[in-house]
Amino acid sequence: MIDIRWKAALFICALSIVSVFLWLISSLVTALVVFALGLLLYLVNHIRWIHQLNNWLKTPDIRQVPEGSGLWEDVYSSLLKYERSNTLKQTELNSALERFQIVANAIPDGLVILSAANTIEWCTSHAEYQLGLDLKTDKNLPIVNLLRSSHFIAYLYNEVYDEPFKLKDVKSTESTLEIWLIPLATKQKLLISRDVTQIEKVDAMRRDFIANVSHELRTPLTVVGGFIETLSDMEGAIPSNIRSYFGMMQDQTTRMRRLIEDLLTLSHIESNTQAPDNNPINMSMLMNMLLNDANALSQGKHKITAQTNPHFDLTGAVDELQSALGNLVSNAIRYTPEGGEINISWQLHHNQGVFSVSDNGIGIDQQHIHRLTERFYRVDRGRSRETGGTGLGLSIVKHILTRHQAKLEITSELGVGSTFSAVFPKARIIQK
Ligand code: ADP
pLDDT in tens, 383-392: 888 888 899 9
- pTM for the full predicted model: 0.68
In the reported structure, the alpha carbon of residue 416 is separated from the centroid of ligand 1 by a whole-number distance in angstroms of 15
Q: How far apart are CA 221 and CA 388, in angstroms?
A: 17
Q: Do you know the residue count of the chain? A: 432
**Protein residues whose CB sits closer than 6 Å to any atom of ligand 1:** 331-332, 335, 359, 361-362, 364, 372, 378-380, 384, 389-395, 418
Residue 172 pLDDT > 70, yes or no? no
In the predicted model, what is the mean pLDDT of the chain? 91
Looking at per-residue pLDDT, the higher value among 267 and 273 belongs to 267
Of ligand 1's atoms, which has the minimum distance to the CA of residue 394?
Answer: 6
Within this chain, domains 200-271 and 279-431 share the same CATH topology: no
Residue 46: pLDDT band (50, 70, 90) is confident
Q: Which of 360, 364, 376 to mutate to test the pocket of ligand 1 (most atoms within 8 A of CB)?
A: 364
pLDDT at 187 over 80: yes
Task: Specify the ligand 1 atom closest to the Cα of 363.
Answer: 25
Span from the CA of 221 to the centroid of ligand 1 (angstroms) = 26
Q: Going by CA atoms, what residue is nearest to atom 19 of ligand 1? A: 331
Supply the CATH classification number for the domain 200-271: 1.10.287
What is the CATH T-level fold of the domain 107-195, as seen in this structure?
Beta-Lactamase (3.30.450)
Task: Give residue limits of the domains in the chain.
Answer: 4-101, 107-195, 200-271, 279-431
CATH number of 279-431: 3.30.565.10
Q: Using the mean position of ligand 1's atoms as its centre, give its distance from the Cα of residue 331 in Å.
A: 6
CA dihedral 402, 407, 411, 417 (to 10 degrees): -60
**Per-residue pLDDT tens digits for 316-337:** 999 999 999 999 999 999 999 9
Expressed in angstroms and rounded, the spacing between residue 87 Cα and the centre of ligand 1 is 66
Instruction: Supply the residue whose CA is at minimum distance from atom 13 of ligand 1.
Output: 378
Q: Which atom from ligand 1 is nearest to the alpha carbon of 395?
A: 6
Distance CA 128, CA 110 (A): 7
How high is the pLDDT of residue 173? 67
> Exposed (0-12), middle (13-18) or buried (19+): which is 412, by Cβ within 10 Å?
buried
